[in-house]
Structure 1
Amino acid sequence: MTNLQFDRHRRLRNSANMRALVRETHLNVEDLIYPIFVLEEKGQKNEVPSMPGIYQFSIDRLHEEMDEVVKLGIRSVLLFGVPNHKDEVGSEAYNDEGIIQQATRFIKENYPEIIVVADTCLCEYTDHGHCGVIHNHYVDNDESLPLLVQTAVSQAKAGADIIAPSNMMDGFVTAIREGLDQAGFENIPVMSYAIKYASAFYGPFRDAAGSTPQFGDRKTYQMDPANRLEAQREAESDVMEGADFLIVKPAMTYLDIVREVRDRFNVPVVAYNVSGEYSMVKAAAQNSWIDEKQIVLEKLTSMKRAGADLIITYAAKDVAKWIQE
């Protein structure tokens, strides 16, 4: 066999330290953004049945979650509100005393170094569960934009560090950017859900946020999972309109999109490891079918390898613990 000529790639794999020395992709706690669901009721910590380990917190108990977040070194959280009152125009979303606004003020007062990312949408606040104003069972794009601007400005006034509009309305980035600038928040960045597919992976989130549409679906404003070129058009529009970050959602089944966005655009790319991706792994782990730690770390590393700079993930606390180990 000594006459054969071939490369010996295994030389760089023959010990743990050697593999660590040449490792190309690294997952860090600083890469993680942890989503939190906040309730208006008092004294509440309610586990989401379809998302083991994820809870809805009332503000008077939010310190329990935030203390752990800080202890684990997680630096950024993404807030979703679960309001008591819903109406056809989602007015609680832009109420200065709304649940997200209250939670933001609480975090910034008690944990000032934490980056608060505010989800900017109407679906959690509308009685129909859609992301905008409805006319004849259709979401009116242009009539929804002013309400989204009001929401973004209200969240910025409460202290949000980043505005993250997730509604997928055409023109939402330029409308929000202009609204923030006119309100004196020109230094608040916009983390756009630039590429958000009409995915079947969102079910557990809708349980947690109470945002399941009461009729129809969101396919007229979220993207067709079959489309790749459309994703580039969406991202290009958002960059031109002033987006500071680009989110690709979901992440796991759209890594090709993450890579193309990373290659084309010179802004931070965020992969959203969504609720269905999280819950599938949790369910399999609870049945002892998989090694949860290894699966999650491999999955999130693949997102970094594909080009994501940041990852929104419900597994952030678990991952932080494993990285510290």
Structure 2
Amino acid sequence: MTNMIYRRLGRSGLKVSVISFGAWMAIQEPVDQELFDKLMKMSYDAGINFFDNAEYYTHGLSETVMGISIKNNGFKREDLVISTKIFFGTNGWGPNAKGLSKKHLVEGMNASLKRLQLDYVDLVFAHRPDPEVPMEEIQITEAHVIARELGLEGPVMEQPQYNIFNRERVEKEYLPLYENFGLGTTIWSPLAHGVLTGKYTNGIPQGARFDGAEGVHKVHVGRFNHDKGKDQIQRVPRLEPIAKQLGCTLPQLAIAWCIKNPNVSTAITAFSKVEQFESNIKCLDIIDKLTPEIMNQIDDIFETKPTQVANFRDQ
């Protein structure tokens, strides 16, 4: 067991490990169930209790493989916090096969539970906004108002992208939601799709995730094709002296930086190799070493810190 840290997921009452297991990149076809079982077991033994999935990941296969792994490893359901996401479906063709309609929410969840071999999941996210669902029904603040009127529980968590490059939403837009509604966050892409590992500094190496990118990865590879993205990538090596000073790798530093933010309930990480897990889990040893001075150094390198929200009450 590592020195795992647990935080409350907002005001939900749930406690989640600050590092979580994301199924998005962990499953590649053809599926290696034995490897996935091992990664799940290593995560569990390290104290990770939050496992994130979605109906769309590998068109439902990710949920199926995770469900099998939970059974194969003999995990107790009470020890796991499981999430899934609904919107995209699993490649169905019909007009109701995706979206946030009541029909797809019900049928999508039933299908997810069947694939996961579970009676329930702990968290359900809307994977994307649905232009055909009135926005006032899905915006967090409005959703809390509606929930109170109906005597229901409002949204307790959100899953934004958060890393050294992408800070605006978590550090600025959501600030009122943490205080007013106790919002928890399960952030994704702490390594900025691998860019913060430093391996893309000199282009896309053969065999890397973006090499010959297709589908959703083709969208993210666009980072390499515009001036802002190229500038961000060229700043990454400037983190190396800080990592050396702390005795860690760039990925460990990048993940620890995310977790340092107390409004981050958990950082979703994706492990497709044993050595990735064994290395990245050591980010837990770095968090307390991130002094205000070091955090300021990182701010100065990337210049991505959001401007503070004006508080007119204090003026």
1:108 deviates by 4.3
Give 1:274's aligned residue. 189
Paired letter, 1:76 = F
Aligned to 1:148, what secondary structure does the other structure show?
helix
Counterpart mapping for 1:1-325 below 5 A = 28=5, 30-37=17-24, 46=28, 57-80=31-54, 100-101=63-64, 103-113=66-76, 114-123=79-88, 125-127=90-92, 134=95, 139=99, 141-151=101-111, 154=114, 158-159=118-119, 161-167=121-127, 230-234=139-143, 236-237=145-146, 241-242=152-153, 245-251=156-162, 252-255=167-170, 256-266=172-182, 269-274=184-189, 277-283=192-198, 289=237, 290-291=239-240, 292=250, 293-302=252-261, 304=262, 307-314=263-270, 317=277, 318-324=279-285
Are 1:116 and 1:160, in contact at CA under 8 Å, matched by a contact in 2? no
1:147 deviates by 1.7
Aligned to 1:299, what secondary structure does the other structure show?
helix
Are 2:22 and 2:268, in contact at CA under 8 Å, matched by a contact in 1? yes
Is the alpha carbon distance of 1:296 and 1:222 closer, same or farther for their aligned partners in structure 2, counting shifts above 3 Å?
farther
Is the alpha carbon distance of 1:296 and 1:140 closer, same or farther for their aligned partners in structure 2, counting shifts above 3 Å?
closer
1:283 deviates by 4.6
1:78-137 superposed Cα distances (whole Å, 9 cap, x missing partner): 1346788x6xxxxxx6xxxx7624522431451414515141425250246xxxx637x9
Aligned to 1:277, what secondary structure does the other structure show?
coil
Are 2:18 and 2:259, in contact at CA under 8 Å, matched by a contact in 1? no
| TM-score, L = length of structure 1 | 0.49
Are 1:38 and 1:82, in contact at CA under 8 Å, matched by a contact in 2? no
Q: Distance in 2 between matches of 1:295 and 1:222?
A: 37
1:244-267 superposed Cα distances (whole Å, 9 cap, x missing partner): 73114233331223322210114x
Question: Where does structure 1 lack aligned partners over 5 or more consecutive residues?
Answer: 1-26, 40-44, 48-55, 87-92, 169-197, 199-217
Is the alpha carbon distance of 1:238 and 1:301 closer, same or farther for their aligned partners in structure 2, counting shifts above 3 Å?
farther
Give 1:211's aligned residue. none
Question: Where does structure 2 lack aligned partners over 5 or more consecutive residues?
Answer: 7-16, 203-235, 241-249, 287-315
Are 1:76 and 1:117, in contact at CA under 8 Å, matched by a contact in 2? yes
How large is the Cα RMSD of the aligned pairs? 4.5
| TM-score, L = length of structure 2 | 0.51
Is the alpha carbon distance of 1:233 and 1:105 closer, same or farther for their aligned partners in structure 2, counting shifts above 3 Å?
same
Paired letter, 1:310 = T
1:6-55 superposed Cα distances (whole Å, 9 cap, x missing partner): xxxxxxxxxxxxxxxxxxxxx9362222202489xxxxx649xxxxxxxx
Q: Percent identity?
A: 7
Is the alpha carbon distance of 1:33 and 1:238 closer, same or farther for their aligned partners in structure 2, counting shifts above 3 Å?
farther
Give 1:177's aligned residue. none
Are 2:68 and 2:116, in contact at CA under 8 Å, matched by a contact in 1? no
Aligned to 2:21, what secondary structure does the other structure show?
strand
Are 2:88 and 2:98, in contact at CA under 8 Å, matched by a contact in 1? no
Aligned to 1:158, what secondary structure does the other structure show?
coil
1:164-203 superposed Cα distances (whole Å, 9 cap, x missing partner): 23345xxxxxxxxxxxxxxxxxxxxxxxxxxxxx7xxxxx
Are 1:78 and 1:117, in contact at CA under 8 Å, matched by a contact in 2? yes
Are 1:104 and 1:160, in contact at CA under 8 Å, matched by a contact in 2? no
Is the alpha carbon distance of 1:63 and 1:279 closer, same or farther for their aligned partners in structure 2, counting shifts above 3 Å?
same
Structure number with the bigger relative contact order (C-alpha 8 A, sep ≥ 6) is 2
Q: Distance in 1 between matches of 2:258 and 2:25?
A: 27
